[in-house]
Chains A and B, each alone.
Chain A
Amino acid sequence: MTRVSCDCDVLVVGGGNAALCAAIAARRAGASVLLLEAASKSLRGGNARHSRNMRVMHGAPTPWVRGCYPADDYHADLQRMAGAAVNSVDDGLARLFIDASADIVDWLVGNGVRFHRGTDEVLPYSRKTAFFLGGGKALINALYATAEALGVVVRYGSAVRALHRRDGPPAVIVGDAGIAVRARALVVASGGFQADLGWLRQQWGGAAGEFTIRGTPHATGVPLKALLEDGADPVGAADRCHMVAVDGRAPPFDGGIVTRLDGLPHGIVVDRDGRRFADEGAVVGPSRYTAWGELVARCPGAVAFSVFDSAIAERFRPSIFPAIQADSVGGLASALGIGPPALGSTVAAFNAALNATVAGGGTTAGVHPPKTRLAAPITVPPFGAYPVRAGVTSTCLGVRVDGRARVLRPDGTAIDGVHAAGVIMAPNILGTGYLAGSAMTIGAVFGRIAGREAAAHALR
């Protein structure tokens, strides 16, 4: 093998949870590590900044999670959620992942991350997830502090423009100046491509322009595209996103959790033409956010409006943005840019179809689509509305990896010295579905594996 001078043993592309776990694991294994974070220091950490908890297998109560969550339960939850996209999922890898999740909290604690006690009474009861004390940014702060204390070199504002490995060890081109960084082994942990509007448009057409990106603006998918062009086996689907319903006034990026709209099942939801298009009572549990994200993304113009009256408004947590209000349904329609007769007749038909005997718990009859739960009349002014848009958490296209987090070609051979961790390989486990709290676990588990394996590759 020709000797080529390398800038470091292990180069980590990305600056979120998976990247940091990889950098720390590689450094602890004795490698010199350089981590390239595209964001500035103040906005570092990728989408992990917006996370709150991680789903972990455990056979008995731990200091961090109550009860127990056996591997088979975790596996069943993954399978149920993966649904139609189950063909992406590598079942052996999923089993390996579930087993490795069992000690990932302890490993993170050992690397400075703080968790809520499992018995903490401020938390909702959960036997499945451990909660980060202070949330994802606190986790990110702790991991950066640990990485830097261990001697990982961190470069902020270092977006990777290109990735190539044809002439020897893997290398990346960084920043506008096009500086080449060469390493003995590479860990790519750069997330999805949801922040690349052009790529999103190829999949979603004009609707993509109406989407809100809930996380980092740096998830442009440049390293993902480079790996795919380099022959990596794609997993998941380019035309699928994890998305939730958010207030249409959310900032274009990094709105995180607070822009989610809580109240959609309580009132009615209409499209820009003032028509109802789905049973608002169909999903009332925690998956309502996701259900509405998908529905709104496919609406005309990818926008909808949650409409309610002042009685219904008391039943849900308000948006962080003030409701658009009017004293009449017609006035509200005008304020929303909907034709007043259209919204007026939708509301009238809905109210006429109510066969509610119990306020707030009713159903409709003779209106299409029906509302099967929580149907209540919209009659008490002032009337209110929130604009609703699809908020994209991440895209569902990734690269295939093996149990050592090595990036694989379609023939199953590994690309030499290239590893992947986090959302960029999550479809191996999740398909195109999403299981709450699993992305952070995938990032930490495969980050740790990728770091260890990359160090072993670099130091062999």
Chain B
Amino acid sequence: MPCADDTQRIAAEARRALDICNACQFCDGYCAVFPALKSRRLVSAQDLTFLSNLCHNCRSCYHACQYAPPHAFDLNLPKSLSLVRQQSYRDHVWPPLLRGRLPHVGWPAVAVMASIVLSAVALVVVPALLLVPPEMLFGRQSGPGAFYRLVPWRVIAGVAGVVMLWSLLAIGFSVASFWRGMGPAPAGAPRLPALRDALSDAATLRNLGGGGVGCNDRDEGFSQARRRFHHALFYGVTLCFASTCVATVYDHLLGWPAPYPLTSLPVLFGSLGGVGMVIGTAGLASLKLHADPAPVAASLTGADCSLLALLFLVAVSGLGLLALRETAAMGPLLLVHLGLVLGWFATLPYSKSLHAPFRFAALLRAAMERRGRG
């Protein structure tokens, strides 16, 4: 558990770094952090919350830094902002009872994630073992409604719905708290154009473009690998979500129960999305493991990797279910896949997943400031 001293030390170090960066500004072509910093004479605690979440942790500014260690100034902006960013997740978590109590770094964070996911898997598997006859669970099932014979649709939708609702609520409250934590929004900024900018920034990951040349994913060399792997993961998740939506329409409006043929939209979306997620998570994890350790806050790697591992397992179990749905492995795989998805839903407000809405909020704030300036 980080103590108050740690929090203050981390904030003071980030502020020192940003003051030096503001006097230099050589990196202003890399990402939105530097122009946003330039418009501030002094860096407040609210600015730290904002700027640390606007940072995409691309590390270009570290490799281009004339003040990076072993320089006397010992500047390491990506690392400093990573640590502040992590604290902002902790400070704005919901319900407020958890603030300052839920670990976000190191092995404790991994343990929280693992226990939530394992509980979810158990929540699905244990009742199924108790309630579903073994010959059904471990026998071959096929034909329309095969999945729902094992776990009724209402149970899936009900449990997942409740968990998802809680998570969305928690994320909503967290983001609202975070939005206030960034300080008052600039008055008079046109909201709709700013929203359009932010959506475009998020969809293209413009800030992982390094001003057009890519980022220092691994070392001094520039590449677009991190951006592309993140795209694969993000759009993979989006496709899987689309698959679920289409399947729901098929099942409830059109009366076509799952499983669906290989050429159907739900399977096409789902398998494409699943492959994207596998490639994205594996690629991002590999970049993380091979990256120059200097600009990385090592205490956060565990939490980052545990989310990647979870998403990888979600995707692999889903693809496995598709591949083996005609065999006796279908039943166990279905239970595990549902459990993992449920676990991921449950961890959304309490894991690295929170970076997505927070970063979007920071991008929106930056776009509002840009539009407000003129």
Contacts and interface: CB of A to CB of B under 8 A. Distances in A.
Contact of B64 (A43, A134, A145): A134
Contacts of A131: 29
B72 A120 contact: no
A122 B210 CA distance: 14
A114 B221 contact: no
B72 A251 contact: yes
B20 A320 contact: yes
What interface size band does chain B fall in? 20 to 34
B60 A134 contact: yes
Given A141-B64, A251-B73, A318-B42, A120 B24 contact: no
B211 interface: yes
Nearest to A144: B220
Given A43-B71, A122-B35, A251-B72, A135 B26 contact: yes
A433 B213 CA distance: 36
A131 B27 CA distance: 11
A282 interface: no
Interface string A245-286: 000000100101110100000000000000000000000000
Nearest to A321: B19
A197 interface: no
A424 to B, nearest CB: 21
B344 interface: no
Mostly helix, strand, loop or mixed at chain B's interface? loop
A257 B211 CA distance: 22
Contacts of A128: none
What interface size band does chain A fall in? 20 to 34
B24 A145 contact: no
A127 interface: no
B30 A135 contact: no
Contact of B72 (A134, A135, A138, A254): A254
A116 B64 contact: no
A5 interface: no
Nearest to B16: A320
A137 B35 CA distance: 20
Contacts of A136: 26, 66
A386 B36 CA distance: 27
A29 interface: no
Nearest to A133: B29
A317 B41 contact: yes
B20 A50 contact: no
A320 B30 contact: no
A50 B66 contact: yes
Contact of A141 (B26, B27, B41, B63): B63
B201 interface: no
Contacts of A318: 19, 41-42
Given A257-B24, A258-B24, A320-B19, A137 B221 contact: no
A145 B216 CA distance: 14
Contacts of B34: 122
A123 B23 CA distance: 14
B128 interface: no
Nearest to A131: B29
A42 interface: yes
Contacts of B63: 134, 137-138, 141
A131 B64 CA distance: 14
Given A43-B71, A52-B26, A251-B72, A135 B64 contact: yes
A42 B70 contact: yes
A55 interface: no
11 contacts: A49-B66, A52-B26, A116-B29, A134-B27, A138-B63, A141-B64, A251-B73, A254-B66, A258-B23, A317-B23, A317-B41
Given A141-B63, A257-B24, 6 more contacts: A135-B64, A137-B26, A141-B64, A258-B20, A260-B23, A318-B42
